[in-house]
């Protein structure tokens, strides 16, 4: 029987004009800290973004989304946060903030295949 992994995930949102509270989903972060798993998958739909804000700085937003990758995967260029343990990195990435890049509240679940679960959540919420 395959092991069930307890995981938490959050949806990454791009909120180009915070005062309007309109957003598009741009990624998923999934963490199963007991399994040593923390991954992110992002995709920016530029057409939808520009429909919300024709003056959105797409390159700056892409750089900010790339920082999620650096922190999740503990890359050297991810700064001090990328050096933290998995659970701390996930909590930092999903902390409530009022900025262009935000996340949903974390949600929990069980999975037998964490990579497959990340793909499914990404397809359901971002694509």
Q: What is the pLDDT of residues 40-77, one digit of tens each?
A: 999 999 999 999 999 999 999 999 999 888 888 887 77
What angle, rounded to 10 degrees, do the helices at 58-72 and 86-93 form?
160
Q: Where does the pLDDT of residue 1 fall: very low under 50, low under 70, confident under 90, or very high at 90 and above?
A: low
Cα separation, 66 vs 40, in Å, equals: 10
Tell if the pTM clears 0.85, that is, is over it.
yes
**pLDDT at residue 28 tops 90:** yes
List the beta bridge partners of residue 13: 25, 102
Whole-number pLDDT of residue 99: 82
Cα separation, 12 vs 42, in Å, equals: 8
User: Which DSSP symbol is given to 55?
Assistant: T
């Amino acid at each position: 029987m395959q092991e069930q992994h307890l995981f938490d995930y959050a949806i990454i949102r791009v909120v180009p004009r915070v005062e309007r509270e309109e957003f598009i989903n741009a990624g998923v972060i999934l963490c199963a800290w007991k399994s040593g798993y923390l991954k992110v998958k992002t995709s920016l739909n530029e057409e939808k973004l520009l429909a919300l804000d024709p003056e959105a700085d797409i390159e700056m937003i892409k750089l900010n989304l790339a920082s999620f990758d650096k922190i999740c995967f503990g890359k050297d260029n991810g700064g001090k946060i990328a050096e933290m343990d998995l659970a701390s990195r996930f909590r930092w990435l999903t902390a409530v903030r009022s900025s262009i890049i935000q996340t949903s509240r974390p949600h929990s679940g069980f999975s037998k295949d964490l990579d497959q679960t990340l793909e499914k959540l990404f397809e359901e919420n971002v694509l």
